[in-house]
Amino acid sequence: MTLMVSVSGVRGIVGPELNPQVIGRWVESLSEILPPGPVVVGRDSRPSGEALAAVAAGCFAAAGRPVFDVGLVPTPTVQLAVELWHAAGGVILSASHNPAPWNALKFVDAGGSFLAPERFALLRSAYDRNDRAALPASSYGRIEARRREALDLHLERVVAMVDAARIRQANLRVVIECGHGAGGALLPDLGRALGIQLDVRHEDTTGQLLDDPEPSTSSLSALAQTGAGAHFAIMVDPDADRCGLAIPGTEVIGEEWTLPLVTAHRLRSGGEGPVVTNLSTSSRMELAAASHGSEVLRSPVGEAHVVAEMRRVGALIGGEGNGGVIDPRAHLGRDSAVAFALLSEAEAAPGGLRELAASFANRAMIKEKIAMSDNGFGPIAEKLSQALGAADDQRDGLWWRRPTGFVHVRASNTEPIVRAVVESASETEARELIAQVRAAIG
Positions marked active-site: 96
d(CA 35, CA 419): 36
> Which segments of 63-205 does DSSP mark as H helices, in order?
75-84, 117-129, 147-161, 164-169, 187-193
Which of 92, 119, 116 shows the shortest CA–CA distance to 241?
A: 92
Burial (Cβ within 10 Å: 0-12, 13-18, ≥19) of residue 195: middle
Residue 162 region by backbone torsions, left for phi larger than 0, else alpha for psi between -120 and 50, else beta: beta
Under 8 Å between Cβ of 81 and 108: no
* Three-class DSSP category at 41: strand
d(CA 297, CA 299): 7
Burial (Cβ within 10 Å: 0-12, 13-18, ≥19) of residue 161: middle
DSSP classification of residue 116: P
Type of residue found at 20: P
d(CA 340, CA 342): 6
Report the relative pairing of strands 67-72 and 39-43 from DSSP bridges: parallel
Which of 376, 434, 362, 441 shows the shortest CA–CA distance to 400?
A: 434
d(CA 382, CA 87): 45
State the virtual CA torsion across 128, 42, 141, 28 in degrees, nearest 10.
0
Under 8 Å between Cβ of 203 and 184: yes
Type of residue found at 419: R
Under 8 Å between Cβ of 441 and 387: no
Report the relative pairing of strands 4-6 and 9-13 from DSSP bridges: antiparallel
390: Cβ contacts below 8 Å, ≥ 6 apart: none
C-alpha radius of gyration, the chain, whole number: 21
d(CA 118, CA 313): 18
Rounded (10°) angle between helices 147-161 and 75-84: 90
DSSP classification of residue 101: T
